[in-house]
Amino acid sequence: MRLFDGQRAWVIQRISALLLLVLIMLATLALPFAVPLDFSAWRAFAGGALGGPLIALLFGALCAHAWVGMRDIVLDYVQPRGLRFFVLSLIAVVLLGVLVRVLLSLAAVALAA
Amino acid sequence: MKLSIYRFEPESGNPPRMQAYEVRPEAGDKKLLDLLMRLRVQDDSLSFRRSCREGVCGSDAMNINGRNGLACLTALDGLKEPVVLRPLPGFPVIRDLIVDMTQFFAHYHSIKPWLINGEPLPERERLQSPAERERLDGLYECILCACCSAFCPSYWWNPDKFIGPSGLLQAYRFIADSRDTATAERLDFLDDVYRLYRCRTIMNCTEVCPKGLSPSHAIERIRLALLRRSS
Amino acid sequence: MDRHSRRLPMFLNLAQIRFPVGAIASIAHRVSGVLLFITLPVIALLLDASLRSEDVFASLRKLLSSPLYVVAATVLVWALVHHVLAGVRHLLMDVGVGSELARARASARVVLLAAPLLALLFLVWGLS
């Protein structure tokens, strides 16, 4: 819990937010060119030198941002110590799971290419 | 005018209840406090704090129709009836509209609300330029009425750990003071998930401050000062 | 002190407190954030599935264009748009842009209106 303390958590929240904002705007701008998306193009993008790192960055920022935000909510509304530890652990496991799942998928596609 | 007022009598052993009142304002009654004083003649068991009756002492803070304010500064004109009066939200109720402010003042003390200056005392007073003095405007006027902290959800959820808008405004008042040399220590103290960073800038504090101050602005400045220091 | 040994009551009935618009925008920011957090594992699994094979990709696409999913996605569009707009509002206020009360109120109103409007637009576009 002390891993993201005070100002550091606040800064991580802001930096990840800015990053996500840029990525979302890029995605929105790219959307008209990508539709209709077919499987091979999507796979080539996700396994490529540009798409892979971008998707990884997106999920990395999402998870960091979600961690700070969800922890803030827990610190406000979940007061009993035991329950708080349990909920925070659950959130951490979900976010780590998401990150690992995405990185493994991307790695599999990149290796197959 | 019709009123509905939160009553709690600790000796009775009964839970708090709402009591209906009706009182006719007389000529010259302008503020809610004037009406409350008339009510006390009707029912001398009704308890609330008041002292200066002009928005300086900060003792008659209460929840008026769902928003915190000072009874002495709240105009009767335009008040929706029945006027619902409750004690400050999130504060332990001692009796009727009187709340226990112990924790609130403990937070105020925790920010060391006095000038700290280790330099040798000058022969005369420590001088400030008009510009330096101006930086205290909007900060020094706080009367510690607790309207802001008692309207802040972050303070409701963590009243023992979050300093709250009032204490943080006061903290910035000393950080901003050119005569204070303890800025680094003050910022060290505030850099904490609970003390400062429970604030989510919803600005409820600024919405209800009866003195028109902006604790959220002070908090914004503290965060930026911390950011500047660490970069 | 005897005062602290007694259990004192407290008034904190949120339904009886009149919340300013900034507080409403903020609680919606939280609700939308939690919604997005819950969706995150689903998105990760969808991403994984979509990269597996041509068939899975095609069936996912069909699934996501069915009316039920469009309605579910509308809720998520609201959540995303609200969260992003409210977030931009906060980032600007952090550096003192629009952190003055009147402007903060106005921007909170804009965010609260824009998100459902865009979500509605998405719904109409998705179902047509």
**Average pLDDT, integer, range B61-72:** 98
Distance CA C37, CA C27 (A): 15
Contacting subunits of C (3+ beta carbon pairs below 8 A)? A, B
**Which residues neighbour B41 within 8 Å (Cβ) at sequence distance 6 or greater?**
none
Query: B203 at the C interface (CB within 8 A)?
Result: yes
Residue C5: its pLDDT value, please? 45
Residue C2: its pLDDT value, please? 47
Distance from CA of A101 to the nearest CA of C (A): 7
**Average pLDDT, integer, range B4-28:** 95
Residue B230: its pLDDT value, please? 86
Q: Kindly report the number of other CB atoms within 10 A of residue B165's CB atom.
A: 31
**Average pLDDT, integer, range B177-195:** 97
User: Taking a C-beta distance cutoff of 8 angstroms, is the pair B22, B73 a contact?
Assistant: no
Residue A37: its pLDDT value, please? 80
Work out the mean pLDDT of chain B and round it to a whole number. Answer: 97
CATH code (residue A47): 1.20.1300.10
Distance CA B5, CA B111 (A): 35
Kindly list the structural domains of chain C, giving each domain's residue range(s) and its CATH number in brackets, ordered by start: 21-127 (1.20.1300.10)
Chain B residues in contact with C90 (beta carbon < 8 A): 201
Residue range(s) defining the domain that contains residue A14: 2-112
Chain A residues in contact with B154 (beta carbon < 8 A): 76
Checking if the pLDDT of B52 tops 50, the result is yes
Residue A84: its pLDDT value, please? 97
C-alpha dihedral (B147, B153, B156, B157), degrees to nearest 10 = -160
The interface predicted TM-score (ipTM) is 0.92
Distance from CA of A59 to the nearest CA of B (A): 24
Phi first, then psi, for residue B71 (nearest 5°) are -60, -35
| Residue contact C99–B217, C-beta within 8 A | yes
Residue A35: its pLDDT value, please? 74
- Using CB atoms, pick whichever of B15, B16, B204 lies closest to residue C22: B204
User: Taking a C-beta distance cutoff of 8 angstroms, is the pair C23, B153 a contact?
Assistant: yes
Residue A3: its pLDDT value, please? 57
Residue C74: its pLDDT value, please? 96
**Which residues neighbour A39 within 8 Å (Cβ) at sequence distance 6 or greater?**
C53, C54, C57, C58
List residues bridging with C96 in a β-sheet: none
Checking if the pLDDT of C3 tops 70, the result is no
Phi first, then psi, for residue C17 (nearest 5°) are -110, 135
Structure tokens at B196: 């400062």
Residue A71: its pLDDT value, please? 96
| Residue C7: band (very low, low, confident or very high) from pLDDT cuts 50, 70, 90 | confident
Distance CA B112, CA A88 (A): 33
Q: Kindly report the number of other CB atoms within 10 A of residue B17's CB atom.
A: 11
Chain B residues in contact with A75 (beta carbon < 8 A): 157-158, 193-194, 198
Global pTM value? 0.94
Going by their DSSP bridges, the two strands B2-7 and B17-22 should be labelled as: antiparallel
Interface probe, candidates C14, C34, C38, C51, chain A, greatest A C-beta count within 10 A: C51
* Residue type (1 letter), A112: A
Nearest residue in chain C measured CA to CA from A23: C84
Checking if the pLDDT of B204 tops 60, the result is yes
Domain count, chain A: 1
Distance (Å) of CA A108 to CA A60, A103, C24, C51:
18, 9, 44, 9
| Residue contact A9–B193, C-beta within 8 A | yes
DSSP A63: H
**Average pLDDT, integer, range C54-81:** 92
Checking if the pLDDT of B147 tops 80, the result is yes
Residue A2: its pLDDT value, please? 54
Distance CA B57, CA B222 (A): 27
User: Taking a C-beta distance cutoff of 8 angstroms, is the pair C56, C50 a contact?
Assistant: yes
**Which segments in chain A show pLDDT lower than 50?**
1
| Residue contact B201–C95, C-beta within 8 A | no
Q: Left (φ > 0), alpha (ψ -120 to 50) or beta: where does B30 sit?
A: alpha
**Average pLDDT, integer, range B190-208:** 97
**Average pLDDT, integer, range B163-190:** 98
